[in-house]
Structure 1
Amino acid sequence: MGKKVLIKGNEAIAEAAIRADCQCFFGYPITPQTEVVAYMAKKMPKIGRVFLQAESEIAAINMVYGAAGTGVRCMTSSSGPGISLKSEGISFIAGAELPCVIVNVVRAGPGLGGIQPAQSDYFQATRGGGHGDYYMPVYVPNSIQEIVDITQDAFDVADLYRTPVMVMVDGMIGQMMEPVEFKERTSKQLPVKNWAANGLGKRKAHNIINSLYLDPEILEKHNLNLQIKYEEIKKNETRYELYNCSERCDLILVAYGTVSRICNNVIKMAKIHGVNIGLIRPITVWPFPKEAFEKTINLTDKGYLAVEMSLGQMVEDIRLSVSGRKEVYFYGRVGGMVPTPNEILLNIKSFLGGEKQCQ
Structure 2
Amino acid sequence: TTGTDRTISFDLVARARVFGGFDGTEVALAQRDPVAHPTILSGEIGLAGAIDNSQHVVRADESFIDRDSILDGFIITAGNMSSVAGTGGGVFITNGAKPTIANCRIVGNNAFAAGGGVRVEGNASPLIMNCAILGNTARNAAGLDVVNAAATVINPLIAHNASSLVSPGGVRWTNATGTLANGVIVGNTSNGLVGQAAQITVASSTLNITHNDIEDLDGSIGDATNFDEDPAFLNLPGTDGVVGTVDDDLRLTDCSPLIEKGSIVALPLDLADLDEDFDTTERYSIDITNGARIINDPSHAGVSVDVGPLEHPGSPLPDPDLNDDGIVGPPDLAILLSAWDTDGCHPADLNGDGTVGPADLALLLAAWTVNP
Scaled by the length of structure 2, the TM-score of the pair is 0.28
Q: Which has the higher contact order (CA 8 A, sep 6+)?
A: 1
More helix by share: 1
- When Rg is computed on C-alpha atoms for both structures, the one with the higher figure is 2
